[in-house]
Amino acid sequence: MTCSHNVVFLLDVASSLQKNQLQLGCLRILNYLGCRFGLAKVRWGFKFFDSLGARGRASRVGDFRELGPRSWEDFEEELETRFGVQSHKSHLPGPAPRATLTQNVLKETLLDYQWDRPEITSPAKPFLRSQKSRLIVAPDEPLESHMPSEGFVNAIFLFSPCPHSQRELLQFVSGSDSCCDLPSSQEVAEKLLPKRVHEMIAGQKITLYWVDTAEWSKVLDSPDHAGYWTIFELIRLVGGTILPSETLIQGLSHHRTEAAPPFCRESRSAKPQFVPWTTILPFASTLNCLLSKPSVFQASFPQQEGALFLSKHGVEKQWRCAVILEPIAMNQRHFQSPVSIFLKGTLTDWNLVKADSFLTESWILQSSQAGQSEQDTLFQQLVRWLLTEELHMVNVPSCT
């Protein structure tokens, strides 16, 4: 029997996303997987939970479902029921921290679904529940590594707000921000992904994708991103990553009407408006990036080291930020490393005609010292300023 790919969506009803946004995000993932592997080789399931601890009807859990109209209708019915009830309720924090509640729903998902469907002629060797509802592993299934193998096998997509600031991380882990000390990575791991859960995720070749549904206004106003990078490094240990929900629900007009980023709002100017490249990037490219083998992706889109030089207004001192450039398209040229980028200033009266004199290649520019230095803080301020002022970084031909 051919190997199947198993996917479970964990949907947090306490997130800011609406019903149609969650529906579109899940549909796009399933459609992509069905086209890539074939409908018969994809099985899926879903589970609703409330990370703020509100009690509600238990989510229906069975075995994995075949990918088809019948299972999708069941999902739509459950989605309508959940958000029909939750949309009229205020979300107040419960007695348990969000990290504990999230860990609980992860454990339930790992235990309730048979991730390792055996061959017809082979005895079943699934992970089972013990009498005390602890995770146990079949004795003849040793774990050779805690890291999943390359390539997409199984996945859990967690739709929930990710803590960004230090204060949000404290609330996420302990339920309170009264403590002044930032929890260590080990403390966060024990609350969210303890060793037993980590081992089971690795043993079943599951990749954990956290779809961040945090409101844009809170992300932009966050005083720091210590919480985000702590969670990111933790998720990376199981081969997963964090991705903004916009990558899955792009195309819906005003999908976050109250907290849309500045570059998404309508402009009163009659001049041509430039939209972010993320809104026109083919959706399949986004998922190809997430689900491809890391070695294949890195060979196709090689990263280059560089330095961004910038200065504050009215200050002669120049700061140097270590950065990484990653091409958007495979046929883009490669610069001679290391790349030096000098931020000269801003342009006025931008229009389509003047845009012809600029290079059309696009690059992802990110700090190589995320959350670790004063230079990274300055880089974050630059990104926030670009978003707020609706500016774009462009490269003139004379730059290196």
Amino acid identity, position 290: L
Domain assignment present for 283: no
How many whole angstroms separate alpha carbon 302 and alpha carbon 8? 31
| pLDDT tens per residue across span 354-380 | 655 555 677 888 888 765 667 777 888
As a whole number of angstroms, the distance between CA 118 and CA 144 comes to 19
> CA 13, CA 58: separation in Å to the nearest integer?
13
Which of 15-24, 56-65, 133-142, 206-215 is predicted most confidently? Answer: 206-215
Min mean pLDDT across 46-55, 276-285, 308-317 is at 276-285
Q: How far apart are alpha carbons 168 and 171 in whole angstroms?
A: 5
The stretch 262-270 carries a mean pLDDT of 40
295 belongs to a structural domain: no
Judged against a pLDDT cut of 50, whether residue 260 lies above it is answered with no
Strands 135-136 and 339-342: unpaired
pLDDT tens string 154-167: 999 999 999 999 99
User: Does the residue 267 lie in any domain?
Assistant: no
- Element at 103 (helix H, strand E): helix 98-112
Q: Is residue 164 part of a domain?
A: yes
63/46 Cα distance (integer angstroms): 10
Contacts 24+ apart (CB under 8 A), 115-118: 115/6, 115/154, 115/204, 115/206, 116/204, 117/4, 117/6, 117/43, 117/64
What pLDDT does residue 191 have?
93
Least-confidence region, from 274-283, 309-318, 358-367, 370-379: 274-283
Residue 106 dihedral angles phi and psi, to the nearest 5°: -65, -45
Residue 278 lies in a domain: no
Structural domain count of the chain: 2
Q: Are 394 and 277 in contact (CB under 8 A)?
A: no
Residues 246 and 384 in one domain: no
**pLDDT tens string 129-144:** 543 344 444 443 433 3
- With 0-12 CB in 10 A as exposed, 13-18 as middle and 19+ as buried, what is 276? middle
The CATH number assigned to the domain holding 176 equals 3.40.50
Residue 146: which pLDDT band, with cuts at 50, 70 and 90? very low
Would you say 135 and 107 are in contact if contact means Cβ atoms under 8 Å apart? yes
* pLDDT the model gives residue 399: 44
Q: What's the distance, CA 126 to chain centroid?
A: 29
Residue 118: the pLDDT is 56
Question: Same domain, yes or no, for 219 and 368?
Answer: no
Co-location of 368 and 219 in the same domain? no
Average pLDDT over residues 300-327: 82
Span 169-200, pLDDT tens digits = 999 998 876 666 778 889 999 999 999 999 99
Distance in Å from the first CA to the final CA of the chain: 54
Type of residue at 110: L
What number is the average pLDDT over the span 80-91? 64
Assess whether 26 and 121 both reside in one domain.
yes
Domain identity same for 205 and 330: no
Structural domain including 106 reads: 5-262
* Domain identity same for 245 and 331: no
In whole angstroms, give the CA distance from residue 165 to residue 222: 6
Q: Do 141 and 195 have their domain in common?
A: yes
Contact 368, 324 (CB under 8 A): yes
For residues 258-266, average pLDDT: 37
Q: How confident is the model at residue 92 (pLDDT cuts 50, 70, 90)?
A: low
Average pLDDT over residues 55-72: 78
Residue 178 confidence (pLDDT): 67
- Which carries the bigger pLDDT value, residue 224 or residue 344? 224
Nearest one of 166, 171, 151, 305 to 224, comparing CA atoms: 166
Within 8 A by CB and 6+ apart from 383, the residues are none
Amino acid letter, 157: F
The pLDDT assigned to 223 comes to 86
Please give the pLDDT value at position 343.
81
Token pair 């958007």 is found at: 328
Point out which residues pair with 88 in neighbouring strands.
Answer: none
In a domain, 399, yes or no: no
Place of tokens 């999908």: 255
pLDDT at 296: 75
Query: What's the confidence (pLDDT) of residue 125?
Result: 47
